[in-house]
Structure 1
């Protein structure tokens, strides 16, 4: 099994989250972070390194139900959009 880079949510204000990671494993800017929100996968994107091993992220969905202390997993990659019938007729602004 591969080692996962796991952080902890420290602040949730609307669609903005601050997540603390180990000092040697801060995710890169624009990385996708996944959070298990009561069985629903929420993806957030790293927007800023704000110091003290904390990254500021923007949620791509509802943050209802998120609380401090929840785990957040760095995917090590940017947000991906599927190609095919799933996105046919859709418009994306990322």
Structure 2
């Protein structure tokens, strides 16, 4: 079930941002027993690299990701960790790391 959710999340992000990289991780197993896990929705982490984020503040990037996910935020996702970077930022981070 969560593998399908991961693919739906990935597809929504790819459609919205045409990213050069996107990773979606299901972290639901880390939250078993958590009150939010009882409603059947999952915990996910997203790392997305797209030129669409150029000129956007971090909060605007997060809002754009939430908007792209639309109803998935109500039906499939309980919690979402987001790392949204431009290609230049991703390159700089890779060079440091």
Q: Normalization by structure 1: what TM-score?
A: 0.29
- Higher normalized strand content (fraction of residues): 1
